[in-house]
Structure 1
């Protein structure tokens, strides 16, 4: 009888926990439906109709795949996708490497360790507009601190940075990595603190160098963390509207007009709502394909 009552109490406790979990999930689920699923479904719908100027919704005509076909005939739109991919190739490795080595540095024992950790977090909490103003002055091609320093050390024709058609995306990626690496650093720091010190002690006894310990112990153990950060950084890199709008506005010309900027311009400057929605859906599909490839490839280098 005692065992039966205990089993009933356990079942009752499980039901209570499940009920409590359901209650906590409901607000998020409602918000996700309202601000995630509903806008996506609406964008998907208008991408298949002719809503490329102001008109009543009841007058919309079915356009089928016309908006999607138009993308592949638009050199600026196609170029924007390639520019986004180019930005991702620069930004994600740079962000991951800087975040990892910052975590390795802060994982060591040194004076003012807590203060240094707080200092490293400052870029992540800084306002993006303030960051853009500071770096615009630093990288000013005519009299900025960086180019003035390069002139002092003998470089006569320093890069134009944000004002150069070949350097605008690269410079923006550097600034974006600087602004976002603290998140990578914190996650890596948590992973590094979970690595057993016994492994390093055993490796030292066997004569392993610090570099060998890094590649044979540290990187394999934190590889699940690396995968998480790489895939989230990749997805985030395509959502790059704010940083480009603040620093380059797609210029000079259209040299840094990435897909997020192009979608915004098509929708809110030219009122091509269906066309911009089709571009956004295509961008979503591109991100899905890249993420799927990353999931397949991670089996070869992630160690759980």
Structure 2
């Protein structure tokens, strides 16, 4: 057997690929096989199953009926879909910008020495550890018109008699976005803080000797060092936001009307409330293409920017 492997190596494979035929590689793949099978079962199969169903009219019970590209033609000419797409993009990208700014601000604060810094860091990290269901239920109580603390503060300050935070189409999407930002800004804060800890202090000392202000050091040292970290974080959080379901579904279910409706919640409603599995699958495929296109363009622009410097 070893002679056969050696002959394959000598005849067919470049030297850098020899390790693929080694005994260690064989056992490594053997141990990975159960995980790969589970991954294929819970991720790869549903993906291709969804793409397949998008070409059929299917309610989850009767046999699927072939409709070809009719679902996609219907979606692209459907006004309601574009309203929900706009909500989804606003929800994802506006939230990411706010998270990044808040996270950067707290990271700058925690990067300084002060009494109680460890306690402050722990408290600021708490939202990241709380389950989405708990966050959604607690923020619903905060937004309660009659008993919620937010409206109580507005009344106490004489600003307003209260706002219908999640009961009004004017405020619903923004209100859910606040809860999403509160839960996820620690991700940016912690990663930015780790990035700042990795910047050599000699650079700041040299800049100070040259007469640079703290703002100049931040612009020309801190931000360039944090750029690669920020690129990865914003890409990940944008995709997580585009794909998030729990918080919006528990807080508003996409209402009132479709004012806070985003694509993941709408796909769920079409599939499991209305029994339109085929149409829901087509919407999911369109959403997948949007996410892939965004990710590829984002990474391409980043590579071009870095390569041009």
In structure 2, relative to structure 1, the CA distance for the partners of 1:138 and 1:47 (3 Å cut) is same
Deviations 1:124-180 (A, max 9, x none): 111222212221222223342222222333323554221221211111111101111
Q: State the superposition RMSD in angstroms.
A: 2.3
Structure 2 Cα separation of the partners of residues 237 and 220 of structure 1 = 25
Structure 2 Cα separation of the partners of residues 178 and 242 of structure 1 = 15
> Which residue does the alignment assign to 1:185?
189
Q: Which moved more, 1:92-101 or 1:238-247?
A: 92-101
* 1:242 has 2:246 as partner: yes
> Which residue does the alignment assign to 2:41?
34
Gapped regions of structure 1 (runs ≥ 5): 1-10
1:152 pairs with one of 135, 149, 156: 156
Q: CA deviation at 1:82?
A: 1.2
How many corresponding residue pairs? Answer: 290
Kept in 1: contact 2:84–2:263 (CA 8 A): yes
* 1:22 has 2:48 as partner: no
- TM-score, normalising length: structure 2: 0.86
> Which residue does the alignment assign to 2:71?
67
Kept in 2: contact 1:141–1:161 (CA 8 A): yes
Kept in 2: contact 1:151–1:158 (CA 8 A): yes
Q: Which moved more, 1:160-169 or 1:273-282?
A: 160-169
> Which residue does the alignment assign to 2:4?
none
Kept in 2: contact 1:51–1:274 (CA 8 A): yes
Q: Which moved more, 1:162-171 or 1:257-266?
A: 162-171
- TM-score, normalising length: structure 1: 0.87
Q: CA deviation at 1:20?
A: 5.9
* 1:299 has 2:299 as partner: no
In structure 2, relative to structure 1, the CA distance for the partners of 1:300 and 1:177 (3 Å cut) is farther
* 1:259 has 2:263 as partner: yes
Q: CA deviation at 1:213?
A: 1.5
In structure 2, relative to structure 1, the CA distance for the partners of 1:28 and 1:192 (3 Å cut) is farther
Structure 1 Cα separation of the partners of residues 280 and 288 of structure 2 = 12
Q: CA deviation at 1:93?
A: 0.4
Gapped regions of structure 2 (runs ≥ 5): 1-17
Kept in 2: contact 1:53–1:273 (CA 8 A): yes
Structure 1 Cα separation of the partners of residues 124 and 35 of structure 2 = 31
* 1:103 has 2:103 as partner: no
